[in-house]
Amino acid sequence: MNTKEIKRNNTFRNFFPYLILLVIIGATLFILNMGNNTVHELKTGELIQALKNEEVTEIVITPKSNESIYVVEGKLKDYKDNESFSVKVIEAEIGDITTYAAEKDIKEYETNSDPGSSPVLYIIVQVLPLVLLAVMAYVLFSKLANSNKGSMDFGKSRAKLSDDKHQAKFSDVAGLKEEKEEVKELIDFLKNPKKFQKLGARIPKGVLLVGPPGTGKTLLARAVAGEANVPFFYISGSDFVELFVGVGASRVREMFKDAKRSAPCLIFIDEIDAVGRERGTGLGGGHDEREQTLNQLLTEMDGFGENEGIIIMAATNRPDVLDPALLRPGRFDRQVTVSLPDSNEREAILKVHAKNKILAPDVNLKNLSLRTPGFSGADLENLLNEAALLAVRRDKNAITMDEIDEATDRVLMGPAKVSRKITDKEKRLVAIHESGHAVIGIKLEDANEVHKITIIPRGVAGGYTMMLPREEKIAIMTKKELEAQITGLLGGRVSEEMFLGEITTGASDDFKKATNIARAMVTEYGMSDLGPVQYEQKSEGVFLGRDYGKTKNFSDKVAHEIDEEVRKIVEECYEKAKEILKNNKDLVNILADALVEHETLTKEQIDSLVTTGKYLTAEEIDAAKELEELREEAKEKKIKNYAKMSKEELEKAIDEAEE
């Protein structure tokens, strides 16, 4: 319904009460007026005598429909305005009355036609009201049926059948090489189940996709159905759970009934932890509706045969809370872990999402993939989309690295608060703080590499230092690397204390992260004098919050020793940060001065400040890169004294060497 129709309906709805009020007032006045009129009932002879005596001034003759009776109404000379007479006359006597009325030449004399003699009038009077009643009844019952439509099919399956036109393929799924190999045999089974039946092979009934959000679990399931060219039923775990007990179980039955009719097919249940959580746990006991739904799902998965052509895939990022009965052989007996992409996979994902975007020549997706460790596929898609929006906002014809850099910061920290007023003192304080972090990263061997420093506020942070791993590796860290992380986090506070002579609240989040790392080293990783013992382990309850989710297997004495070890690690890292910054005071001041003046430093500018103490603009950095490339080319061509040549001399020497 458009806006005009809505306004028209509102106008009619507002005007309707006043219309009803007018009708009531009119009817009341009419009834009152009718009550003041006086009607005299005369006999036929009295009417004829009055006609002979010329006492009748008005007369109206109306035949009754389908009856041989006429009603004669009118007025006599001595009647008042509100008086009249009425006479019922049979058909045999009406002729005398009409004759006398014509002879006496009465001024107001009228004879109405018989309603029964007009087919149109008969239809209007007799048939039309019945038709109107039938139409009104039909409209009323139709509206009632539509309003109750949803209430009658609440037990039906909510699983939707994907459109064939939008089926994904493996070519649409960048990365996930090992994960694709894991599910390829499912595609072969869906295409040709007889091949497996011949050898007695049992294909898993259910495949559980486990991994962080945004890693492509749903897309992988769609690609399996698309490659096998089979129907794809998809539903969310929350679509099963309802207020009324038994509704979810009914929907599970209906879903499997529909799937059996469409076999071979694939059923995908997203966020299965919404319905598949472990039964009988939590502070509040069980949930009858959810548990009955889970029981029905378990029963249905046992109910169909091994080679009926139905594969169930489900996705979750919380496999630890799933009911053990779901994960036993015969149900979800295969788990495929969909991890965060590495640099090569990130590059492939960026290429997929960059297909419909116009990128400037300076955009290098390989370099961008190296700068985005820890990004999921959804994060990378959002990154390029944010960059495209920024390019449109800036009226550019292509997406440049400036937009991609800004989009990266927006995804990580939020939009820059450029309109916020910052005092010179606060700017200097933030610059000193961030320079402390950066110098630790530059000078400490096992620390992460510094890629960017900024004092522009973003989110709740007054500034930040982007530090990325020097090389990407699997999720294993050494004790030295963890200590380097703690030292880097403490560098901001040490820098404030050493160069400003005061401390601020800006390091509170740094302390929180450093303490968590140190405590994990002591209680989980066995990296302290307490030995290789795990004192705490993450065990989040199904219905409990995170604060209640750690199991502690130690006494109060050991708790005190743990606190002492955590303090010892943090204090040692604090002293190490002091030593590094004390030996590099000039570098801290150089970086802080550059930040106060320019607010943001890139990796190339940081390297220039570290090596030469000079700040380079973007144009100077590009010129330096070009000069370095020319020197590398001259080196390959064995040109003498190439390191001392200018750009023009190198270009001339290279041209001569080629000739």
pLDDT-based confidence at residue 174 (cuts at 50, 70, 90): confident
Confidence at residue 529, expressed as pLDDT on a 0 to 100 scale: 87
pLDDT the model gives residue 573: 94
Residue 307 pLDDT exceeds 50: no
Residue 175 backbone zone (phi > 0: left; psi -120 to 50: alpha; other: beta): left
Residue where the block lists tokens 């004390």:
582
Q: What is the average pLDDT across 149-165?
A: 56
- Choose the weakest-confidence range: 296-305, 370-379, 449-458: 296-305
- For residue 2, the model assigns a pLDDT of 42
Pairing of strands 265-270, 310-316: parallel
Model pLDDT for residues 203-215, shown as the tens digit of each residue: 777 888 888 888 8
pLDDT of 552 strictly over 90: no
Mean pLDDT of 151-171: 61
Extract the tokens encoding 190. Answer: 């869906």
Tens digit of each residue's pLDDT (9 = 90 or more) over 68-105: 777 778 778 878 777 888 888 777 677 777 777 766 66
| Mean pLDDT, rounded, for 289-311 | 73
Residue 558 φ then ψ, to 5°: -65, -35
The residue among 86 and 549 whose pLDDT is bigger is: 86
> Per-residue pLDDT for 546 more than 60?
no
Reply yes or no on whether the pLDDT at 9 is more than 60: no
CA-to-CA distance for 317 and 405, rounded, in angstroms? 29
User: Minimum mean pLDDT among 109-123, 194-208, 585-599: which range?
Assistant: 109-123
Lateral strand order in the sheet of 449-454: 464-468, 449-454, 600-602
pLDDT classification of 156: cutoffs 50, 70, 90: low
Q: Which of 216-230, 457-471, 515-529 reaches the highest mean pLDDT? A: 515-529
Using one digit for the tens of pLDDT, what is the confidence trace for 102-112?
666 666 565 66
In sequence order, what DSSP letters do the residues of 494-528 get, joined into one string?
HHHHHHTS---GGGHHHHHHHHHHHHHHHHTS--S
Catalytic residue positions, numbered: 434
pLDDT for position 304: 58
Q: If you average pLDDT over residues 191-199, what whole number do you get? A: 73
Angle 247-261/288-303 helices, nearest 10 degrees? 20
The mean predicted confidence, pLDDT, of the chain is 77
pLDDT digits (tens, 9 = 90+) for 452-476: 888 888 777 778 888 888 777 766 8
Handedness of CA 278, 279, 280, 283 (dihedral sign): positive
| Greatest mean pLDDT range, 106-110, 186-190, 293-297, 505-509 | 505-509
Q: Answer whether residue 628 shows pLDDT above 80.
A: no
- pLDDT at residue 6, as a whole number: 41
Looking at the predicted structure, is the pLDDT value of residue 125 above 90? no
- The pTM (predicted TM-score) of the whole model is 0.66
Strands 108-111 and 56-63: parallel
Determine the pLDDT at residue 1: 46
